[in-house]
Structure 1
Amino acid sequence: MSGKNAAVTAFRYPYVIGWTGEAERHRLIWVPRPLSSVRLSYVDSRPGDYELGVLRLRQNGRRAGRPDFTTVNTRRQWRCMARSWCQVCAGSAVDTETGRIWWLLSSDQGDGGDGYTNAPPTCRACIPEAISQCSHLRRHAAVFTVAECVPFGVRGDVFVPGLPPLVPFAVNRVVRFDDAELPHCVARELLMRVVDVREEKATDH
């Protein structure tokens, strides 16, 4: 067998996934909000804790420990969403010819109409690899391009205002940016509304 035929493409861990060594624990407190009510904060507040008016989950970005395909790193997921980066390679997912953004979703997530998603874009070059490495996507892959995406809300843990913020009363709840619960939430993922969705054919390489 020739070296070319024997070569095996190395597995790439997607840029967006979380790693077990990235988890951190930081104590939460309630702080007064201007005009009324309270909002969550970390005891040792830092610049960058809040984005789009919501407190984000703190994690380090060292990618230490083991890859955990059931989670994403909040900062990397947020970065991919906000900058239209590919969740696999962290390159741009914007098509250079059309200006549209490539997006890979599961066909059982909906009918492809305008809506919101917690899955970041996937660039055209990485789509075949992403499908081949995920058994669910091999059965249910749906490839789209979208004209634009705009922040819709977050998926996060919601606490009861005023009570000690030790245990959330709702986990992984979808909270819109216009929702009154936003100040009481620790965001794990940014949700984007995708606009002008067009189904495309998966590309092979």
Structure 2
Amino acid sequence: MSLVTKVSETGFRYPYVIGWTGEAQQHRLQWKQRQDGETLAYVDRRPSDYALGVLRLRQGQKMTGRPDFKTVNTRRQWRCMDKRLCQVCASSAVDRETGRIWWLLSSSGEEAGDGFTNAPPTCRDCIPEAISQCSHLRLNAAVFTVGAYYPYAVRGDVFLPYLPPVVPFKRNALVRLTDYEITHCVARELVVRLQDVQPAHQEDGMAWAA
């Protein structure tokens, strides 16, 4: 069991990527002038605010307060995507024998296949637990191995340039890294494009449902 995950009194393991109520932070935004136009920045800027040229949501990392299964922690989600880590336990999601990456997706959406997803990988050992703990996945789980992937977009809040960045005019929008709006966005999740996606079968040596 990874030391970076938390466990409830009943033994339930909270997924590494989910947000916690005590991690929310308030920070003032401002527009910063660049040669190619206006870009969002925090008033108290830090080098770690940006990744892939995108301003990321600031949050704490101590997993305090209550778990919030409707949100993810931006930095932890990004870290799993960057380092091919399991979204449940934060261990490597790369298969030691094949070098392919284990990925658990929902078969009810377009992400199940050679598409894009904001869900980080799930290691082979955690797949049964993840399915058993999620009512949606119990009905719609699709397990794959992935040969490669690359950053494609973000999900985040988009603000109108030249107006005070107080209230976004788009919330949780999908913004591609090549879109004009990317510098007007506060990213909440990294979205990746999957390549060489192959279905994984139960006869590979395990049952997906616990």
Give the corresponding residue for 2:131. 131
Q: Work out whether residues 156 and 189 of structure 1, in 8 Å CA contact, stay in contact via their aligned partners in 2.
A: yes
Moved over 6 A (4+): none
Give the corresponding residue for 2:164. 164
Separation of aligned partners in 2, 1:32 and 1:164: 14
Separation of aligned partners in 2, 1:63 and 1:20: 8
Once superposed, what is the RMSD of the aligned Cα atoms?
1.4
Separation of aligned partners in 2, 1:159 and 1:40: 8
**Identity, % of aligned pairs?**
66
After superposition, where does 1:122-201 map in structure 2 within 5 Å?
122-201=122-201
Separation of aligned partners in 1, 2:111 and 2:64: 37
Q: Work out whether residues 160 and 169 of structure 2, in 8 Å CA contact, stay in contact via their aligned partners in 1.
A: yes
Task: Count residues in correspondence.
Answer: 197
After superposition, where does 1:68-147 map in structure 2 within 5 Å?
68-110=68-110, 112-147=112-147
Separation of aligned partners in 2, 1:9 and 1:27: 39
Separation of aligned partners in 2, 1:119 and 1:105: 7
Q: Deviations over 1:55-76 (max 9, x none)?
A: 0000010111000000000000
Q: Work out whether residues 154 and 175 of structure 1, in 8 Å CA contact, stay in contact via their aligned partners in 2.
A: yes
Give the corresponding residue for 2:28. 27
Amino acid at match of 2:107: S
Amino acid at match of 1:37: G
Q: Deviations over 1:161-204 (max 9, x none)?
A: 01000000000111111000010000000000000111112533
For the residue of structure 2 that corresponds to 1:48, the secondary structure is: helix
Q: Deviations over 1:81-114 (max 9, x none)?
A: 1111000000000001111100001110137331
For the residue of structure 2 that corresponds to 1:150, the secondary structure is: strand
Give the corresponding residue for 1:17. 18
TM-score by length of 1: 0.93
Q: Work out whether residues 159 and 185 of structure 1, in 8 Å CA contact, stay in contact via their aligned partners in 2.
A: yes
Amino acid at match of 2:84: S
Separation of aligned partners in 1, 2:124 and 2:15: 15
Q: Deviations over 1:88-141 (max 9, x none)?
A: 000000001111100001110137331110000000000001011111111111
Give the corresponding residue for 1:3. none
Give the corresponding residue for 2:3. none
Separation of aligned partners in 2, 1:142 and 1:48: 34
For the residue of structure 1 that corresponds to 2:196, the secondary structure is: strand
> Which protein has the larger Cα radius of gyration, Structure 1 or Structure 2?
1
For the residue of structure 2 that corresponds to 1:44, the secondary structure is: coil
